[in-house]
């Protein structure tokens, strides 16, 4: 003797379990759920996540249309997507961008039109999945991979440069102070003979946060390595970059005026502020302060040039760091 489906003792418990299953799954993943009347387009139900996203109580959403809740352009776009799902009668996937709390969010929206009861009014269900966090992670991953490739190229370039006679600082891969001073003397002599301007820059890594300090010397070494890599990739073969001591660096920009030097160092400052440096799974953010001077506009001797760089750097640090400051231009009668 067979048992009809209606008399199956397992069916009622399953029905009771499946009833709250969809809302529970949506709540766990943070997805938004909305039900509309397919004919009028008025909302008949939204879950708490949808109400929170729209910054309205559920009672202020139910009974209203998109045209009453959103701007005209967005409402028209949503209505067009709704009509497409209603006409096709099968799940339709689309993407929409909404501004929530002053920030733009990209949603993947799955729509399905159905009739809860045979011959009854049709409803349109839509499930909104926020793709913004995943896309942000994807962007960060692409940036990290690009920086890894950049680091690999820089390491290869460094290996080639190690064949030079100039001594290198092992922590940053840059020239030492002695080599920089030698290059500076040559540039001063050349500029004096040919009346050609050049620029010098003092750079100092801004004080780290307590979180980075807690990671110890290895974290500082990662930051030194990252800045050295940026300086090597951001300067020309005719320039000279060195680590003076501790957290201070210097750059010699051959044949470059004050304005151009400021522009190039501002670009480097932004690179430092956005550079991804990781230690023990934690991202180490770092910023730098810079003081830029030029020869002969801000100084007429090597010592005066270095003093002008030092004064400009001190002014950048006085302003709170993460800034590029120019030395004062000398005016002579």
Q: Taking the model in full, what pTM does it have?
A: 0.54
Half-sphere exposure of 301 (CA within 13 A, CB side): 3
If asked whether residues 155 and 34 sit together in one domain, one would say: no
**Residues 145, 121 within the same domain:** no
**Residue 293 sits in a domain of what CATH number?**
3.30.70.270
Structural domain contains residue 4: no
Residue 59 lies in a domain: yes
Identify whether residues 214 and 308 lie together within a single domain. Answer: yes
What is the tally of structural domains in the chain?
A: 2
* Same domain (yes/no): 16, 156: no
Separation between Cα atoms, residue 113 and residue 89, nearest integer Å? 6
Average pLDDT along the chain, 333 residues, taken 10 residues at a time: 41 41 58 87 88 85 89 87 86 81 81 80 85 81 79 68 64 86 90 89 91 83 90 86 91 92 94 86 88 90 93 95 89 52
Last residue of a domain, one of 106, 130, 154: 130
Place of tokens 């030194």: 224
Looking at the domain assignment, is residue 313 inside a domain?
A: yes
Statement to judge: residues 283 and 166 lie in one domain: yes
Domain ranges, residue 145: 136-326
Q: Three-class SS string for 193-221? A: HHCCCEEEEEEEECCCCHHHHHCCHHHHH
Same domain, 87 and 214: no
Predicted pLDDT of residue 85: 86
The Cα 112–Cα 108 span in angstroms is: 14
Helices and strands, number each (H, E), in the chain: 11, 12
Residue 331 resides in a domain: no
Same-domain check for residues 47 and 192? no
- Among candidates 73, 74, 66, which has minimal Cα distance to 36? 66
Let me know whether 125 and 141 are in one domain.
no
**Contact partners, residue 166, CB within 8 Å, separation at least 6:** 175, 176, 179
Kindly state whether residues 206 and 171 are assigned to the same domain: yes
The verdict on residue 5 lying in a domain is no
Distance CA 137, CA 148 (A): 16
Cis before residue 296, ω within 30 degrees of 0? yes
Is the CB of residue 312 less than 8 Å from the CB of residue 253? no
Domain boundary among 70, 96, 130: 130
Residue with tokens 């501002």: 266
Question: What's the pLDDT score for residue 118?
Answer: 77
Last residue of a domain, one of 74, 108, 130: 130
Cα–Cα distance measured from residue 197 to residue 50, given in angstroms and rounded to the nearest whole number: 62
Provide the pLDDT for residue 16: 41
CA 123-18-115 angle, to 5 degrees, is 20
Residue 47 is part of a domain; what is its CATH number? 3.30.450.20
């Amino acid at each position: 003797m067979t048992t009809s489906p209606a008399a199956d003792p397992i069916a009622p418990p399953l029905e009771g379990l499946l009833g709250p299953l969809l809302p529970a799954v949506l709540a766990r993943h943070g997805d938004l759920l909305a039900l509309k009347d397919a004919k009028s387009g008025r909302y008949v139900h939204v879950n708490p996540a949808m109400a929170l996203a729209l910054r309205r109580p559920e009672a202020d959403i139910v009974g209203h249309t998109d045209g009453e809740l959103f701007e005209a352009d967005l409402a028209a776009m949503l209505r067009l997507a709704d009509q497409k799902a209603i006409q096709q009668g099968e799940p339709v996937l689309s993407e929409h961008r909404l501004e929530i709390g002053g920030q733009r969010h990209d949603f993947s929206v799955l729509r399905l039109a159905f009739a809860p009861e045979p011959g009854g009014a049709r409803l349109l269900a839509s499930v909104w999945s926020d793709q913004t966090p995943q896309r942000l992670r994807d962007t960060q991953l692409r940036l990290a991979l690009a920086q890894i490739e950049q680091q690999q190229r820089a390491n290869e370039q460094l290996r080639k440069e190690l064949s030079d006679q100039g001594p290198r600082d092992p922590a940053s891969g840059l020239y030492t102070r002695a080599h920089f001073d030698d290059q500076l003397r040559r540039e001063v002599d050349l500029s004096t003979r040919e009346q050609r301007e050049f620029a010098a820059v003092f750079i100092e890594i801004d004080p780290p946060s307590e979180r980075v300090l807690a990671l110890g010397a290895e974290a500082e070494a990662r930051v030194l390595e990252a800045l050295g890599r940026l300086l090597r990739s951001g300067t020309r073969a005719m320039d000279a970059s060195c680590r003076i001591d501790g957290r201070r660096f210097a750059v010699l920009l051959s044949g470059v005026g004050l304005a151009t030097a400021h522009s190039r160092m501002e670009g480097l400052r932004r690179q430092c502020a956005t550079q991804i440096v990781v230690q023990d799974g934690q991202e180490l953010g770092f910023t730098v302060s810079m003081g830029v001077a030029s020869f002969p506009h801000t100084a007429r001797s090597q010592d005066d040039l270095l003093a002008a760089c030092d004064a400009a750097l001190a002014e950048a640090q006085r302003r709170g760091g993460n800034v590029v400051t120019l030395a004062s231009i000398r005016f002579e009668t």
